[in-house]
Each structure stands twice: as structure tokens, then as C-alpha cells.
């Protein structure tokens, strides 16, 4: 065990939503094991609301709004990649590098395993940069000074193993701490206030690529059936997914209400819903992180590695589906064998358990 009272650790997990949420149980476990440590995090600006309620990156305090990290560093690596020669890009990279070096970290944990995250870790000048021995991008391993062999099936278990090497802890995955944004909570109070007080079910039809997206007409059928059972149906769609929400709203004859929510607002809503139905996507993993029941509709991604974790769940996946991360635009064939009736049976089971609990 490391006994230094002000050990300084930097976490690098830039995005996206589901990946940040997968790393969060490991970092929460470290925070619980070492409350006096300084734990900072480098993240893409789009996802900072997962770690802090007010995005005040200069705030070093640890409180309800910022429960896990002491300081956030924002790294717009996607924008940098698209505009590598702009003066603004050079300025932002140099400014981040200077701040990271000034912080004099004792260790850096790279949960992303990509060349860009490993490059950010190297900016620190820290001599202890820890990553997986088989990272997502093979070239990243040459920027690590320690390479950890992980054995867990689920990515959360793998991240906990990685985190345990920092101080030699015997860590286990814990329920992650997520911030409470009071403005978002007030917005949610208004959204869910009477007379619209029926228990809510959240549907999320989007996904990172088309092969993971269950068809909109099937989400609409589920929305109509659950509305007939007395549930209020909320329909989340992230940026660029608005056409999916509009299609489901129309096909469900208005049963599903499109939800235009920020990340902080989505956290607030998800905390209060009775159930989340989604594919392998960030909002499903957010529901798991918040302990809400989920129905996961899976196709080309493996639920053993990326499925619901730490909450009551039902996972639907065809035995013919195989792991395939090809960015295909059409739904995977196995995904199309999952019927609305199967999803409704899973939803009914979880909702019945929720009433008993």
C-alpha cells in the first residue's frame, strides 16, 4: 500500500459517455480507498458533466457537485485531430501540457488505451504511466511505462484491475459516484411534476453506429404498449439522433415524448425513471451507474464485455450474433431477430420486480 498522504494521480479517459462510466467505478473505488489522494482527470469537454456538476475546472474542492475528482482538465482531442495545424490547437495543447507538468503527478492511469490518450499521459512528464498490456490501439502500449495484464471479462472489471496496480490495492467495483447538478434537478422536477406523475420509462434508440440500432418502428411498438400499461414514455436522443426521436414519436402516435436533455439533465432524469430500454450505448451504462433497471438490446457487441453491470437487467441478444465492431450502417442481422414482444416481456419482469422492491 502507498502511504504518501498527498499522492497525486491523473486519470486519462477522454470519452465517450459509456467509456467514462465504465472507468468511474474503478476511480470511485480508488477515491474510497484513498480519500486523501489528489485524483485529477483529463476528459473531452462534452463529457465533463459526468464528473462535475458545474464544470468549474479550477475548483479543487471535493464536494457533492464534484464527488470523485479534484480537478478536471479539458482536452478537445477530437477538434485537435480535425484541425492539427491551427494556431488555437497548438495553443491549447501547449497550455494543457504546461498545466499537467506543473502538477507533478506520481502516476497516470490511461483507461482509454488509444494513441491520443497515451500521448496526453506522456505530456505530464510522469515516469509512471500505466495502461493495459493489450490496449485498444496497439501502438499506445509503447507509451506506457507499466503494462498490466487484465483477466476480467467485463471492461469495468478490467478497469478495476488496472486501477488496483497504482497502490497494490485489492479493489472491487463499486457503485460509481455521479454529481448532482441542482439546476438539472430543478429542470427534472418541472418535467416530471404532476399531473404527469405516472412512472416513467426512458427509451434510447441511438447508438454509436447503425449495426447496434434496433429499428425505430420496434421502439415505437414498445412505447405504445408501455403507454397502454400506464407508463410515461420519455425518448432520449443525443446530438444528431433527433430524426430517430421524431420517427418514433410519430410511429407511436405521440406515446413517446422526445427529450432534449443535456448530459446533466439526462443524469437527473435517469435517476428517477422506473426503467431504461436501450442498446449498447452511453445512456444504458448511465442507468447502470445510477442503479436503475435496464433492458439491453444487443447485436454486434458482446454483453459479457460491454453489457449491463451492477444493476438489475435483462439482456436480449440473438445466439447468432457475433462480436463485430465494423461501423456498418444497417442493423446487424441478429439484432433484427429481437421482437418488441421479447423486449416487453423483459420490461414487464423488471417493472414487476421494481414494484415488489
Residue 211's contacts (CB-CB under 8 Å, 6 or more residues apart) are 299, 300, 324, 326, 327, 328, 329, 330, 331, 332, 335
H runs (alpha helix) in 150-215: 155-164, 182-191
Q: Are 19 and 135 in contact (CB under 8 A)?
A: no
CA–CA distance, 354 with 357 (Å, rounded to integer): 5
Question: 53-62, 100-109, 302-311: which has the minimum mean pLDDT?
Answer: 53-62
Q: Are 135 and 155 in contact (CB under 8 A)?
A: no
If we measure between CA atoms, which residue out of 226, 277, 224 comes closest to residue 252?
A: 224
Q: What is the pLDDT of residue 31?
A: 93
Q: What is the pLDDT of residue 54?
A: 56
**151-175 average pLDDT score:** 96
Q: What is the pLDDT of residue 263?
A: 96
Banded model confidence at residue 65, pLDDT cuts 50, 70, 90: low
Mean pLDDT over each residue of the chain, to the nearest integer: 92
Q: Are 313 and 330 in contact (CB under 8 A)?
A: no
Q: What percent of the chain has pLDDT over 90?
A: 87
Banded model confidence at residue 66, pLDDT cuts 50, 70, 90: low
**Please, what are the domains in the chain?**
8-164 (3.40.50.2000), 182-356 (3.40.50.2000)
pLDDT over threshold 90, residue 309: yes
CA angle 351, 354, 357 (to 5 degrees): 155
pTM for the model:
0.93
- Of residues 194 and 171, more confidently modeled: 171
If we measure between CA atoms, which residue out of 204, 201, 226 comes closest to residue 213?
A: 204
Question: 1-5, 311-315, 353-357: which has the minimum mean pLDDT?
Answer: 1-5
Banded model confidence at residue 56, pLDDT cuts 50, 70, 90: very low
Which residue's entry shows cell 496497439? 138
Q: What is the pLDDT of residue 259?
A: 94
Q: For 231-250, how does the pLDDT look when each residue is reduced to its tens digit (9 = 90+)?
A: 999 999 988 999 999 999 99
Q: What is the pLDDT of residue 357?
A: 63
Q: Are 20 and 50 in contact (CB under 8 A)?
A: yes
Amino acid at each position: 500500500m502507498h502511504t504518501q498522504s498527498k499522492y497525486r494521480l491523473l486519470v486519462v479517459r477522454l470519452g465517450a459517455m459509456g467509456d467514462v462510466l465504465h472507468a468511474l467505478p474503478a476511480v470511485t473505488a480508488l477515491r474510497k480507498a484513498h480519500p486523501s489522494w489528489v485524483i485529477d482527470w483529463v476528459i473531452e469537454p462534452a463529457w465533463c458533466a459526468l464528473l462535475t456538476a458545474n464544470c468549474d475546472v479550477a475548483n479543487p474542492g471535493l464536494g457533492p457537485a464534484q464527488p470523485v475528482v479534484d480537478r478536471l482538465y479539458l482536452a478537445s482531442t477530437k477538434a485537435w485531430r480535425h484541425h492539427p495545424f491551427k494556431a488555437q490547437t497548438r495553443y491549447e495543447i501547449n497550455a494543457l501540457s504546461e498545466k499537467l507538468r506543473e502538477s507533478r503527478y506520481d502516476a497516470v492511469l490511461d483507461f482509454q488505451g488509444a494513441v491520443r490518450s497515451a500521448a496526453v499521459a506522456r505530456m505530464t512528464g510522469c515516469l509512471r504511466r500505466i495502461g493495459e498490456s493489450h490496449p485498444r490501439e496497439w501502438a499506445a502500449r509503447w507509451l506506457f511505462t507499466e503494462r498490466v495484464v487484465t483477466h476480467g471479462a467485463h471492461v469495468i472489471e478490467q478497469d478495476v484491475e488496472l486501477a488496483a496496480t497504482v497502490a497494490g490495492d485489492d479493489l472491487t467495483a463499486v457503485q460509481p459516484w455521479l454529481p448532482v447538478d441542482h439546476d438539472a434537478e430543478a429542470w427534472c422536477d418541472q418535467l416530471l411534476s404532476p399531473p404527469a406523475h405516472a412512472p416513467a420509462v426512458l427509451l434510447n434508440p441511438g447508438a454509436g453506429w447503425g449495426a447496434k440500432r434496433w429499428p425505430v418502428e420496434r421502439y415505437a411498438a414498445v412505447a405504445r404498449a408501455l403507454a397502454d400499461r400506464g407508463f410515461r414514455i420519455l425518448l432520449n436522443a443525443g446530438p444528431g439522433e433527433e430524426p430517430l426521436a421524431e420517427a418514433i414519436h410519430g410511429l407511436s402516435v405521440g406515446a413517446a415524448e422526445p427529450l432534449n436533455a443535456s448530459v446533466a439533465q439526462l443524469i437527473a432524469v435517469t435517476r428517477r425513471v422506473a426503467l431504461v430500454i436501450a442498446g449498447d450505448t452511453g445512456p444504458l451504462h448511465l442507468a447502470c451507474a445510477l442503479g436503475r433497471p435496464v433492458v439491453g438490446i444487443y447485436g454486434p457487441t458482446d454483453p459479457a464485455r460491454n453489457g449491463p453491470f451492477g444493476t438489475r437487467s435483462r439482456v436480449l441478444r440473438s445466439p447468432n450474433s457475433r462480436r463485430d465492431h465494423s461501423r456498418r450502417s444497417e442493423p446487424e442481422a441478429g439484432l433484427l431477430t429481437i421482437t418488441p414482444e421479447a423486449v416487453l416481456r423483459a420490461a414487464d419482469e423488471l417493472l414487476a420486480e421494481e414494484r415488489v422492491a
